[in-house]
Amino acid sequence: MQLYNKLSAKEREALIEEAGLDRLTLSFYQYAHIGNPEIFRNHLFIHWNELDVLGRIYVAKEGINAQLSVPAPNFLKFKEHMDSISFLEGIRLNIAREQDDKSFLKLKIKVRDKILADGLNDETFDVTNKGQHVDAEMFNALIEDPDTVLVDMRNHYESEIGHFKNAVTPDVDTFRDSLDIIEEDLKNHKEDKKLVMYCTGGIRCEKASAYYKHKGFKNVYQLEGGIIEYARQVEEKGLENKFLGKNFVFDHRRAEKISDDIISNCHQCGKPCDTHVNCANEACHLLFIQCEECKEKMENCCSTDCLEISRLPYEEQKALRRGQHNSNKIFKKGRSEALIYKK
């Protein structure tokens, strides 16, 4: 039985266009005890592949973390299958604010040690002793309190294009980097301040809130459903939107607009811009912010060196990549020395 993708992204893209069906992009996570993640992974693949689900899903003994898209006509069947799994029954699904039929082009379900790379030893603290979940209305009230410290639990390239007003935005590349930095910065306020956290969909705050309570923080809160759910509630309830800019997302869309504010700039010319791209040189693939003018001038590349390489015939580019460990640049999101106006 086929339990993996055989189609390329281009082939899948063509099939999506041919089908002409609207697709829903959504995400969810759930911490749970999964005895055999491999069997669970295969179970999901068999059922979701039949429903033409596409996406990136991580399964571990501690639970599941999923970002995916499903054809709109198959959504109810997908929900029925979710509800047939005891620990996923009735789970909140974060529906994307901006839909794109090509947000995902493959179904990838991977077994991992953890559903979130946090670098923590979960056996040293009670991961179920989490902070208080708050909705958009209570969140808005909390962050106006002078005794509140609002912390963005995302990475620098995410908060650079969008964040809440007055939020602390750690200049970090990974979630695990932020944990100790935040604790050190707030070590004198563990009892007298309210620690309010937010992230994209809630999963990072789920673990961080328990960790900070373990570290002695007395008043810990987290935004229920993250920025995705906040935006939905703000629109549905007519609340004041306190988020500035775009919400970075981990699919082909790269971001959803939450407000009309542009708070970042093109990394090459400095012009106001909040559009992330990947360098066209496959040996680089650096994620950075690039305006339309620079995109045309630099042919979607981050530097003149990459521009020269990208103009070479494909086989020559492939030969240059052979044996070279250039892929580490992918993880230096926006950090290249070639980018004059990087954060």
Task: Name all domains of the chain by residue range, CATH numbers in brackets.
Answer: 9-111 (3.30.70.100), 122-232 (3.40.250.10), 276-331 (no CATH)
The band of 265, judged by pLDDT with boundaries at 50, 70 and 90, is very high
Q: Which two tokens stand for residue 109?
A: 């379900």
pLDDT confidence of residue 12: 84
pLDDT confidence of residue 331: 46
pLDDT confidence of residue 328: 45
C-alpha–C-alpha distance, residues 83 and 170, integer Å? 37
Selected catalytic residue, list 199, 205, 279, 301: 199
**Res 209 pLDDT > 90:** yes
**Res 303 pLDDT > 80:** yes
Q: Are 317 and 283 in contact (CB under 8 A)?
A: yes
**Res 321 pLDDT > 90:** no
Full-model pTM: 0.88
Q: Are 223 and 200 in contact (CB under 8 A)?
A: no
**Res 330 pLDDT > 50:** no
Helix (H, G, I), strand (E, B) or coil at 318: helix
Is 199 annotated as catalytic? yes
pLDDT confidence of residue 18: 86
- What average pLDDT does range 96-110 have in this prediction? 91
Average pLDDT, the chain: 92
**Res 121 pLDDT > 90:** no
The band of 100, judged by pLDDT with boundaries at 50, 70 and 90, is confident
Residue 105 is given by DSSP the state -
